[in-house]
């Protein structure tokens, strides 16, 4: 329970510091569009074959994003696009840190109990991992 609390509080702190100025992360299709109009993204990505790309393109990797955009399209009636992006950012940070903690705990806790916590914190603060997950839309597959 202690690890969950640490990762959750750190995620809240980082999210509040990142979004305190009311600025979005990214722009255009990289950061703004999925939160500005998630229902439109849901309409586009719910099919494997995209007719919007002439003469059509097979894009099977985006079908995994359908649950995320469905949830975001429901939440868009309750929250602003900025809050939607901040909530997803918070969720990703928590899942990154706590997930790595659980992974490391499964393998090495018996030898050194502090190592899983260090592994989770390292993964959470590793900016390269965050950029690759966030910027390259890998979070939609989560």
| Residue 111 · residue 28 · CB < 8 Å | no
For residue 87, give its domain range: 6-141
Q: Is residue 37 in some structural domain?
A: yes
How far apart are the C-alpha atoms of 33 and 11, rounded to whole Å? 23
56: phi then psi, degrees, rounded to nearest 5: 120, 150
Q: Is residue 78 in some structural domain?
A: yes
pLDDT surpassing 90 at residue 9: yes
Q: Is residue 98 in some structural domain?
A: yes
Q: Is residue 124 in some structural domain?
A: yes
Residues listed for the chain: 142
How far apart are the C-alpha atoms of 22 and 42, rounded to whole Å? 25
Q: Is residue 21 in some structural domain?
A: yes
Does the predicted TM-score (pTM) go above 0.85? no
**26 in the Ramachandran plot: left (φ > 0), alpha (ψ -120 to 50) or beta?**
left
Tally of structural domains, the chain: 1
Give the model's confidence band at 15: pLDDT under 50 very low, under 70 low, under 90 confident, else very high. confident
Tens of pLDDT, residue by residue over 72-114, are 889 988 998 888 888 888 888 898 889 889 998 888 867 777 8
Q: Is residue 1 in some structural domain?
A: no
């Amino acid at each position: 329970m202690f690890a969950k609390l640490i990762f959750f509080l750190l995620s809240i702190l980082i999210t509040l510091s990142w979004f305190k100025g009311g600025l979005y992360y990214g722009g255009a299709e990289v950061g703004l569009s999925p939160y500005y109009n998630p229902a439109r993204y849901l309409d586009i990505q719910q099919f494997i074959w995209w007719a919007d790309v002439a003469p059509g393109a097979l894009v099977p990797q985006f079908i995994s994003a359908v649950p995320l955009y469905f949830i975001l399209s429901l939440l868009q009636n309750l929250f602003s696009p900025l809050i939607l992006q901040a909530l997803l950012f918070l969720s990703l940070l928590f899942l990154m840190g706590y997930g790595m903690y659980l992974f490391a705990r499964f393998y090495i806790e018996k030898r050194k109990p502090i190592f899983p916590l260090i592994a989770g914190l390292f993964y959470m603060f590793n900016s390269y991992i965050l950029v690759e997950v966030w910027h390259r839309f890998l979070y939609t597959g989560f």
